[in-house]
Amino acid sequence: MTKLTRITRRAVLGLVAGASAIGLASAAQAQDSIDLSGKTVEFVIPFSESGGSAKWANFYAPLLSEALPGKPTVVVKYMPGAGSTKGANWFQDKDYKDGTVIFGSSGSTQFPYLLNDPRVKYEYGDWNVVLASGTGGVAFLPPDIAKKFDGDADDLKGVDFIWGSQGATRLDLVPLLAWEMLGMTVEPVFGIKGRGDGRLMFERGEANIDYQTSAAYLKNVVKNVVPLVEGGSAVPMMTWGALDADGNIVRDPTFPDMPSFKEVCETTKGCETSGKAWDAWKAFFIAGFPAQKMVFLPKGAPQAAIDTYTKAFNAVLARDDFAKISAARLGVYPQMTGEQATATLKLGTEVDAEAKAFVQNWLKERFGVSLN
């Protein structure tokens, strides 16, 4: 990585990591706007209705409906398939018409793009970002195995783990690489449609390790009708962490009592927080979690439409109750519009060439996935 690249990346990380929901909602007010009276806005996400993206989209949909001019109905439409590339490819073929179609991307959509997955027919540069949301993730274990975990993963190395995964080129590569760095033997069962399906495998005893993004963890693991943590059937292991303004991995502010992966790695024999594996993990963690979810208008969207949606999301972020309701549903993470959303898009769709090459080679050697 060149010195200039490091400086630029540090500046973008500082912009994103130092953000607050209200502080980053400072895009210019719209000079003109579109009227959505009597219309229905389709908020398309390329996943099933059981995962973190569904929770995120359904959190924002009614708030956005109230904030958009004309108060249109905003409905969430699910389009899972092909590792989320099905929905993204569908959106790529859409040209702007009247502002009634928006798309919700996730790290699992960004990773195939970053890794040159042949299924990818979409180009983020064609789309118009109007909101970017950071998030985190929590890994958890069943209680019998959790007894072996005391802050390091040394006593977990003899356990045969089964895990329901959406695919190695998805956001799931972050935990897959993390667990391998810790020396754990985790056998993924690929092909589930969403992280919610992985959670269900864990609940049924078909898997003995899982992770969920923060929104899904809060909703389905902590606050479910039958809370897994409170009921004793799930014990948190660690979070992936968060970024401070200097780009360092720190504890996730939503779960300050849980150790980060970096902390667990530092105390586990054979796991290093420097070198090629760590640099690759950190690069894809940044692309997948601090830059996790984004809302786009399709290609060809006029400035009036971009301004209308930006102003609406700014109004949502400025609500007196936003900090409280978002912390409960999404966690404590930056929600960004305007220039900050554009900076986050850059984080989510660009990785260092060495990190990319490392992951591509690891995917080929570990899972037989050839992308280079």
Question: What phi, psi does 185 have (nearest 5°)?
Answer: -100, 100
3-state secondary structure of 300: coil
Residue 21 shares a structural domain with residue 66: yes
Report pLDDT for 3: 40
| 372 assigned to some structural domain | no
Domain that holds residue 118: 3-135+289-354
Report pLDDT for 303: 96
d(CA 158, CA 34): 59
- Of the three residues 237, 270, 287, the one that is the final residue of a domain is 287
Q: What torsion do the CA atoms of 356, 350, 174, 295 make, to the nearest 10 degrees?
A: -150
Encoding tokens for residue 367? 């899972």
- Number of separate domains in the chain: 2
As a whole number of angstroms, the longest Cα–Cα distance in the chain is 62
| 365 assigned to some structural domain | no
Residue 283 shares a structural domain with residue 143: yes
DSSP-derived secondary structure letter, 221: I
- Asked if 196 and 216 touch (Cβ cutoff 8 Å), the reply is yes
d(CA 370, CA 258): 35
Residue 54 shares a structural domain with residue 160: no
Residue 87: CB atoms within 10 A of its CB come to: 23
Please report, for the domain that includes residue 276, its CATH number: 3.40.190.10
Beta bridge partners of 299: 95
Candidates 311, 295, 253; CA nearest to 32 is 311
Encoding tokens for residue 27? 């895009």
| 364 assigned to some structural domain | no
**Kind of pairing between the strands at 40-45 and 73-78:** parallel
Please report, for the domain that includes residue 24, its CATH number: 3.40.190.150
Residue 200 shares a structural domain with residue 274: yes
**Kind of pairing between the strands at 137-141 and 210-213:** antiparallel
Residue 63 shares a structural domain with residue 158: no
Residue 242 shares a structural domain with residue 343: no
d(CA 265, CA 273): 7
Report pLDDT for 208: 97
d(CA 221, CA 233): 10
| 369 assigned to some structural domain | no
Q: Considering the entire predicted model, what is its pTM?
A: 0.84
Residue 144 shares a structural domain with residue 281: yes
Report pLDDT for 226: 55
- Of the three residues 287, 315, 332, the one that is the final residue of a domain is 287
Candidates 304, 305, 306, 294; CA nearest to 335 is 294
Q: In sequence order, which residues have a C-beta less than 8 Å from that of residue 311 and are 6 or more positions away?
A: 27, 29, 30, 33, 67
Report pLDDT for 12: 55
Encoding tokens for residue 17? 């990591």
3-state secondary structure of 363: helix
| 361 assigned to some structural domain | no
Residue 199 shares a structural domain with residue 307: no
Report pLDDT for 247: 86
Residue 301 shares a structural domain with residue 261: no
Residue 159 shares a structural domain with residue 169: yes
- Asked if 277 and 285 touch (Cβ cutoff 8 Å), the reply is no
- Of the three residues 287, 307, 342, the one that is the final residue of a domain is 287
Residue 162 shares a structural domain with residue 293: no
| 23 assigned to some structural domain | yes
| 51 assigned to some structural domain | yes
| 325 assigned to some structural domain | yes
Give the pLDDT of the chain (372 residues) as one tens digit per residue. 544 344 345 545 555 555 544 444 444 444 478 999 999 999 999 988 877 899 999 999 999 999 999 999 999 999 998 889 999 999 999 999 999 999 999 998 999 999 999 999 999 999 999 999 999 999 999 999 999 999 999 999 999 999 999 889 989 999 999 999 999 999 999 988 888 889 999 999 999 999 999 988 988 888 775 578 877 889 999 999 999 888 899 999 999 999 999 999 999 999 999 999 999 999 999 999 988 899 999 999 999 999 999 999 999 999 999 999 999 899 999 999 999 999 999 989 999 999 999 999 999 999 998 886
Residue 348 shares a structural domain with residue 258: no
